[in-house]
A = this chain, B = another copy of it.
Amino acid sequence: MSKSTINHVAQLAGVSIKTVSRVVNNEPNVHPRTRAKVEQAIEKLNYVPNQSARNLASHHAQMIGLVYEDPSIYQLPSAGYVLRLQEGTLRACRASHFELLIHPCNYHNPTVGEELKAVIQQVRPAGLVIAAPLSNMPKIVRAIAETGTPYVRLSPGSRSAKDFYLATNDREVSAEMTQHLVTLGHRRIAFITGHPDHRAVSLRFEGYKDGLAQSGIKFRPELVEAGDNSFLSGEESGYRLLQGKTPPTAIFAANDDMAAGVIRAADRLKIRIPDELSVAGCDDSALAQQVYPALTTIRQPISKMAEQAALALIDKSRNRQSAESSETRIIPSALKIRDSTGPAPG
């Protein structure tokens, strides 16, 4: 492995190491001819700057840290979420020659704050992307803030944060989905709520009510069932709703797993989808496409949010001034209309 250093390059190019440093870092004040010479030398020697040396001298690593709740406790459903986070962050990193450090953690671990601080102090990443739900947990955010490392919070739904964060329009898009069902002729539209701890999920319920109101349809409490985000709870809610006296013609669940449960319930009850019942979910998880019929759902821009967060951090570490550390950016979610929704029967 070639282990040429900045000194070798400087020697070959006949300049000082500072000049090499300038061209490597794309700094101004280098004569084009000099730059060309240096670039040639770099090419010839196959020079790659040593990150550790760079980090030591510049006080931070060319690295972005991604912090999220460890999915193993959630089981596999959130696999897609984590992968999308990683995908977006990686896209940003790749473009800028940064590397990605992943750090899942358990919120319930009492020393998680110390742990995070230690990691940050050890590695000194240029910035941290904090994913929901950790991004809404004061303990976590405070610990990270205390280190002085720049960070961006990813909080779908939330809109109250004071520092730099990215969110999506969960509430608005849920209203949009509701209106979509109304447009298809549905009037009795049920909703299955999710786990109360999950902030974004409860915003979806608000969005559902907004959508009804905007369409001039009265909200009926009897068309609301409480789920807990699981497939099973969706299935049970489905039975209750569909076996009631005046069953809905459409069911909107606060996540895909529950919507899939509804599909199973309908299947068992010999109710055809979408002919007799429309079903909509939320998340666009892997399940949405595996289920039959493929699920109409809402796709959150997880990957894009993560990408923008990382990009902002990378930017900040370059133009050290930028900052605007209390910006807020909303990246809209999108309806994914598939086969589980259709015109209302009759």
Chain A residues close to B by CB (< 8 Å): 1, 48-53, 55-56, 61-63, 71-72, 76-77, 79-80, 82-83, 86-87, 90, 97, 99-104, 117-119, 121-124, 146-148, 231, 260, 264, 286-287, 290, 292
Contacts and interface: CB of A to CB of B under 8 A. Distances in A.
20 contacts: A48-B117, A48-B118, A48-B122, A50-B121, A51-B124, A52-B53, A56-B56, A62-B122, A63-B101, A72-B87, A76-B83, A76-B286, A82-B83, A83-B83, A97-B122, A99-B101, A100-B101, A100-B103, A231-B290, A290-B290
Nearest to A57: B52
Nearest to A285: B76
Nearest to A264: B292
**Number of identical protomers:** 2
Nearest to A98: B122
Contact of A99 (B80, B90, B103): B103
Contacts of A124: 50-52
A290 B167 CA distance: 30
Nearest to A82: B83
Interface class of chain A by DSSP: helix
Nearest to A48: B121
A76 B121 CA distance: 34
B90 A83 contact: no
Given A56-B56, A83-B82, A292-B264, A77 B286 contact: yes
A49 B77 CA distance: 37
A147 B102 CA distance: 24
A49 to B, nearest CB: 7
Nearest to A78: B83
A32 to B, nearest CB: 25
Most buried by B among A87, A99, A264: A99
Contacts of A103: 99-100
Contacts of A104: 90
A303 to B, nearest CB: 9
Contacts of A97: 122
Nearest to A288: B76
A62 B53 CA distance: 14
B122 A99 contact: yes
Contacts of A63: 101
A290 B292 contact: no
A107 to B, nearest CB: 16
Most buried by B among A87, A123, A124: A123
A257 to B, nearest CB: 9
Contacts of A286: 76-77, 79, 286
A56 B48 contact: no
A119 B99 contact: yes
A289 to B, nearest CB: 8
Contacts of A290: 231, 260, 287, 290
A59 to B, nearest CB: 8
Nearest to A120: B1
A55 B63 CA distance: 15
B122 A50 contact: yes
Contacts of A101: 63, 99-101
